[in-house]
Structure 1
Amino acid sequence: MTQLTEFQREIILNEEDKQNYFWVQDDVHLAHAVSPLFASFQIPAMTNGTKTAFENLKMPLRQFMMKLADGRLYQATLPHEGDMPSRIREHQELVGPLFPIQKQRLMDSVEHIFSPFYRQLDAYRSQTATLDEAKQRVKELFAFYEKAWQLHFEIVMPRSGHSMALEELYTRLTNEPDATAVYECLSGVMNKTLETDRELWKLAVQVKQSAVLEGIFTGFPTEEIVSQLDQQEEGRAFLTGLRAFLDVYGYRSPNSHEFLDETWIENPNQVLYMISAYLQKEYDFEKEYAQIVQKREEKLLETLAKMPEGEGKQAFIQLHQWALEAWGLDEDHHFYIDAMLPAKSRLFLLRVGEMLVDANVVEAPNDIFFLYYDELLDVLSEPALVSQTIERRKQEHEQNKQKSVPPVYGTPPEEVPDDPILERVFGIKTPDVNEQEKHFSGYAASQGQYTGVVKVVRGPEDFSKIQTGDVLVCKTTTPPWTVLFSVVGAVVTDAGGILSHAGTVAREYRVPSVVGTKVATSVLRDGDIVTVDGTNGVVHFGKQ
């Protein structure tokens, strides 16, 4: 076994770590195996960024620590070490005034911090530089990653407190036992993910209105569509519109959190597949969205009718209005930070990789993603061929992708605090499978009942399996998966709570959904017939 460097020892989970803390694999956001270079950036950024952010927000948490094991990222949650009730009061007093300005805080950061840095990364790609200058730019990116994740949590965490305040007031004023019903009053809020889907739908409408375009999309494999479009005048005009779409929305990749995956702007085949998916059924984004907004407004009126007149009701109305203004924050921050930061970083790092190809250090630009951060700095300082290391790491990465990794390491704390915020996002239920009666449960994320054919989707490479009306069964979803929600009849996930991406988007598309089952991808197989009860959070399998 190769001896680890000091930097690598800092980010790789060891036996002492397992003895000292309880580590959970984040299968909601980071279910996939990651490359060494991405882990090198993400782990210090998350560990140090949360420490600063949580102190700035006076959170009842000290930080999230992150470590690498078998190619997966594991997280330990460290509580605040001081007087907890005082800390909670301090936190509430600090974040309350942020409720009305949450979206503005994000957009201010995008305008003044993120966008300028992204433009700088873009500029670096077109500039001639020495290896030493490239090294300094890589170090700039490493430092920015930590700042980005500090801002990430300072921006998103007040939304969680806002949600809990809204739930508490809803329950107190309506006497309804299920506080999560309040989220039905928050559907139909435009965000960057829905905005992306709307623009994709518009491209699909353009295809449907042209016999030439529709013939190309339905008559050729996805990989040949661009070349076929380029041979027709209408096709070339469509490609111009496609490039304009990618210039705005193309900075995302299948897993978001990774450097290895091609972005949409590099390879539009993923986008072309999504346009093809829209062609499978009659779907009108604008009409569907208007209906969701109408349903939200009706639900709000029903909710307000249950509340007694007075200050409490007025406080709920104000909290709800602020929540509506901020509710797109979850998808919007993902667009500008979670997805765009690694996408822009990947494109810059590929340019560094090209320089190392020219210096006979690596054989291909993307080989650098199989180096750790300190190793990359070393070869930029003293170029030396690292092909053996790269080949070994590639093999390890492929093995890691196939591994069934432990969901946790270490000993759970004896007293686990009831944390509704973590439950809403991550889902913390234990698996609940009734083999005799053929059903398992999870969280009721989106109401309704639907019976259909299962398609288990492990990643974007399986998207083509989905046919109109199928039941999407997966570990988790990210924004690039959203187009599937307009095609499928129901969604079931292993991971997540009702405020996870899958739960939130399912409500936006009015698709019955049960999330956080822990077992769906293990119990179900392609072709199974299931009934998804999104109202009660139960999935019935076996013959119906």
Structure 2
Amino acid sequence: MTHTIPAPGATTKSFPKPSELPVPAGAEGWEELYPYHLRFRHSPGADDKFWFCDSQHWPTVFKPFETIGAEFAVKCLGQYNTRHLLIPPANGIEFKVHLGCLYMSPVPVPPEQIPARVPEFERRAGHYFRNWETLLDSWRVKVRATIDEMQALQFEPLPDLVPFEDVLTGKAQDGSEVLLENYDRLIQLCYRNWQYHFEFLNLGYLAYLDFFEFCKTAFPGIADQAIAKMVQGADMELFRPDDELKELATLAVESGLAAAFADTDDVEGTLRRVSAGDGGRAWLARYEAAKEPWFNFTVGNGFYGHDRYWLDHQEIPLGYIKDYIHRLQSGHRIGRPVEELVAERDRIVAEYRELLDPADAAEFDAKHSLAATAYPYVENHNFYIEHWTMGVFWRKVRELGRVLAGAGFWRDAGDLLYLTRNEVREALFDLVTGWAVGSAASGPSYWPDEIERRCRVVEALRTQRPQPALNTPPAEITEPFTMMLYGITTAQVQQWLAGDEEQDASAISGLAASPGVAEGPARVVHDADQLGEVQEGEILVATITAPSWGPIFGRIRATVTDIGGMMSHAAIVCREYGLPAVTGTGTASRTIRTGQRIRVDGDHGRVEVLD
């Protein structure tokens, strides 16, 4: 659905306004599920600003509690642009929830204010770039300390009586304060690590963008992919979970334990069969060593309460190990082609450097070194925050949900997700009040029906695919983060506006995100739960991929996504696995069908349907 808005002397195509989008049947009253500050209704200029849907990070409709990830992440991104670093051309990003999905609008700095920000930005960013490794070591320490404190929080049912020892010692508290304080602390700790998340991230992007822009000026006509290759082959912690599985698979084959992995859905049975084999004890010791921290990894992206983590669902990593065992037995190479990536990186760097005079070569070296140093953080932060921090956070949320379910507030631990975080605080006080005065709490007679209603609303919202953008786009998209991370370019916006009218069913254009050409049958995946369906030699087609999908990259020949730019997770991961990729196609997962034979040209950003 697009609109044409007449303008003096011209006709401008536009996306619909938020107020014009239809509400799916059954989702009436959906706005009541979310805080007032996330609604367009209370946002000045909601029908005027250009907004795009961030389905890269939040691809499905929010349950009310799940907005916490978006609120903390985007707020904290903004604070580093606007208040910490004073990035000259960019403040933060406005964000709203509409029809259950997240929409964003970058906030530019007025041109006349940019020069005054430059010296302060250089002073602050320079401190980080000069002390990158030392500061990053400190970052890991404080992030881990926050995770450990969060892990130590406990949510337990209230006792029948205050312990007599508390009477004797004059404690004068009934224990309910622990439940309330631990909930508040859980939220605070989550918020703390999201602030830490962005301490380095925007600088990582900026270092790469600075090198990118230098190359574009020094080497007119250089391809974006050539620049990306100059920092590839990095040793990233985000790949460590997958590397652990590969080592465990290799050890299982070497120890003659492959047969023990026949049925990995039976976790206890698999581990029991392993322990009975020769070398089984050593393998299990290696397995236990890998679990902390590397199994704090989700098949999703960490932003949803339903994300499944390896630590809680060990059939997932065991299944990946089983697949790697089969591939090893078939003579396949399962490791990332790091040596080839590094050799290609060094070759391209040397060839372009030779084209420069000594002064420019020195500047090239400095900018390349900084980009290569900062680049790994762009992905590594994912493990520490989205995976590890949020894995512990959601585990504690379910623990609290079980306490309230046990008190009759709702049926399942996950039902808590249908409350906002402030409503959870109210429900907790309702619980402790009824317990303290010896009467029935109100929650059990209120929340079950209300949660059922909200569940129906969320399911109704999920029936409608989100509009990719809202209102009238600018004539040209120039903001670098928006282009490189999200793939929101002028061409992409025009493709969205063209819609089905100009759609060529046999060819789809996108961003050339990872080089190479591959052909094969398509496998369309809309949800991480479908990853088990991916077969050897297929081409993955998805709205977006998650970094944690690494274990299936050895099965596939190429990747195609609807969204994402050159610095998106999908693009980076595919380059590091040596897979062709086309991102930012807009419609690939809707127009391509599983089983169709397709050709992916990652050099030119083109996907052809061959059937």
TM-score (norm. length: structure 2): 0.81
Question: Displacement of 1:361 after TM fit?
Answer: 2.1
Tell whether the 8 Å contact from 1:251 to 1:340 is kept in structure 2 after alignment.
Answer: yes
**Paired letter, 1:117:** T
Of stretches 7-16 and 26-35 in structure 1, the one that deviates more from structure 2 is 7-16
1:88, CA displacement in angstroms?
5.8
Q: Is the 8 A contact 1:12 1:67 kept in 2?
A: yes
* Residue 265 (structure 2) pairs with residue 223 (structure 1): yes
Alpha-carbon distance change, 366 to 238 in structure 1, aligned in 2, over 3 angstroms: farther
542, 547, 564: which one pairs with 1:479? 547
CA contact (8 A) 1:35 1:260 kept: no
Identity %: 22
Q: Which residue of 2 aligns with 1:233?
A: 276
Q: Displacement, 1:509?
A: 1.2
Cα distance per residue 1:278-301 (max 9 Å; x no partner): 234344455722222222222222
Q: 1:517: which partner in 2? A: 585
Helix, strand or coil for the counterpart of 1:316?
helix
Residues 166, 319 of structure 1: 8 Å contact kept = yes
Cα deviation, 1:459-507, whole Å, max 9, x if unaligned, reads: 2211122112111111111111122222211111100011111111111
Partner Cα distance (1:448, 1:441) in 2: 15
Asked if 2 retains the 8 angstrom alpha-carbon contact of 1:424 and 1:499, the reply is: yes
Match of 1:300 in 2: 349
How big is the shift at 1:420?
2.8
Q: 1:104 to 1:389 in 2, by over 3 A?
A: farther
Give the distance between the partners of 1:135 and 1:287, measured in 2 at CA. Answer: 47
Contact 1:259 1:345 in 2 (8 A): no
**d(CA) in 1 for partners of 2:303 and 2:136?**
19
Aligned counterpart, 1:61: 90
Which SS does the other structure have where 2:518 is aligned?
strand
- Determine if the alignment matches structure 1 residue 251 to structure 2 residue 296: yes
Q: Give the deviation of 1:327 after TM superposition.
A: 1.8
The answer to whether 1:421 aligns with 2:449 is no
Q: 1:262 to 1:125 in 2, by over 3 A?
A: farther
**Using the alignment, how far apart are the partners of 1:155 and 1:288 within structure 2?**
28
Match of 1:260 among 285, 306, 311: 306
| Residue 84 to residue 277, structure 1, CA distance change in 2 (3 Å) | farther
Partner of residue 319, structure 2: 273
Given the alignment of the two structures, is residue 214 of structure 1 paired with residue 242 of structure 2, yes or no?
no
Deviations 1:354-397 (A, max 9, x none): 32233332322222122111110011101221212222233333
Is the CA contact 1:450–1:531 (under 8 Å) kept in the aligned structure 2? Answer: yes
Residue aligned with 1:115, SS: helix
Contact 1:57/1:154 (<8 A) preserved: no
Q: In structure 2, how many angstroms separate the alpha carbons of the residues matched to 1:381 and 1:243? A: 40
Q: Which residue of 1 aligns with 2:564?
A: 496
After TM superposition, give the deviation of residue 258 of structure 1 in Å: 1.6
Could you list the per-position Cα deviations for residues 43-69 of structure 1 after superposition, in whole angstroms to 9, with x for gaps in the alignment? Answer: 432454234222211123332222223
Matched, 1:108 2:157: no
| Structure 1 partner of 2:452 | 391
Are residues 1:24 and 2:67 paired? no
Q: Which residue of 2 aligns with 1:142?
A: 187
Amino acid at match of 1:304: R
Cα distance in 1, alignment partners of residues 393 and 579 from structure 2: 34
Letter in 1 for 2:348: K
Q: Aligned pair in 2 of structure 1 residues 541, 347: CA closer, same or farther (>3 Å)?
A: same
The answer (yes or no) to whether the contact 1:50–1:153 under 8 Å persists in 2 is yes
Give the structure 2 partner of residue 353 of structure 1.
401
Q: CA offsets per residue over residues 285-341 of structure 1, 9 Å max, x none? A: 557222222222222222222222x12211211222222222210121111112222
Name 1:36's counterpart in structure 2: 64
1:125 partner SS: coil
State how far apart, in whole Å, the 2-side matches of 1:144 and 1:88 are. Answer: 31
Q: Is the 8 A contact 1:32 1:401 kept in 2?
A: yes
Question: Contact 2:540–2:556 (CA<8 Å) still a contact in 1?
Answer: yes
Pick aligned residue for 2:103 from 60, 66, 74: 74
Label 1:68 to 1:181 Cα distance change in 2 as closer, same or farther (>3 A).
same
Contact 1:168 1:179 in 2 (8 A): no
Q: Deviations over 1:503-524 (max 9, x none)?
A: 1111111111111111110121
Matched, 1:8 2:13: no
Alpha carbons of 1:86 and 1:271: their partners in 2 closer, same or farther (altered >3 Å)? same
8 Å CA contact 1:106–1:333 kept in 2: the answer is: no
Deviations 1:152-206 (A, max 9, x none): 2331111222112111222333344334421111111011122222111111112
**Is 1:439 matched up with 2:486?**
no
Structure 2 CA distance, aligned partners of 1:287 and 1:412? 43
- Secondary structure, counterpart of 1:264 in structure 2: coil
Are the aligned partners of 1:103 and 1:329 in contact in 2 as well (CA < 8 Å)? no
Aligned AA for 1:443? L
Single out whichever of 186-195 and 437-446 deviates more from structure 2.
437-446
Q: Give, as a single letter, the amino acid of the residue that structure 1 aligns with 2:304.
A: E
Counterpart residue identity of residue 346, structure 1: W
1:153 maps to a residue whose letter is F
How far apart, CA to CA, are the structure 2 residues paired with 1:393 and 1:345?
A: 23
Partner of 1:404: 465
Matching residue within 531, 537, 552 for 1:469: 537
- Write the distance in 2 (CA, Å) between the matches of 1:56 and 1:387: 44
Cα distance, 1:302–1:271 mapped onto 2, change above 3 Å: same
Between the aligned partners of 1:15 and 1:270, the Cα distance in structure 2 is: 43
Q: Which of 313, 332, 340 is the matching residue for 2:361?
A: 313
Where 2:47 maps in the other structure, the secondary structure is helix
CA distance in 2, matches of 1:106, 1:525: 44
Structure 1's unaligned 5+ residue stretches are: none
> Which deviates the most, 3-12 or 416-425?
3-12
Bigger drift between 44-53 and 247-256 goes to: 44-53
Residues 115/237 of structure 1: CA separation in 2 closer, same or farther (3 Å cut) = same
Say if 1:253 and 1:480, in contact at 8 Å, map to a contact too. Answer: yes
**Pairwise CA distance, 1:12:** 3.5
Q: What is the CA–CA distance in structure 1 between the aligned matches of 2:303 and 2:34, rounded to whole Å?
A: 21
Separation in 2, partners of 1:426, 1:84: 26
Which 10-residue stretch deviates more, 364-373 or 123-132? 123-132
C-alpha root-mean-square deviation of aligned residues, in Å? 2.7
What corresponds to 1:366 in structure 2? 414
- In the alignment of these two chains, the number of paired residues is 536
Q: 1:38 to 1:542 in 2, by over 3 A?
A: same
The 1:2–1:447 alpha-carbon spacing in structure 2 relative to 1, beyond 3 Å, is closer
Whole-angstrom distance in 1 between the partners of 2:117 and 2:608: 41
CA contact (8 A) 1:426 1:496 kept: yes
Residue of structure 2 aligned with 1:205, choices 250, 269, 294: 250
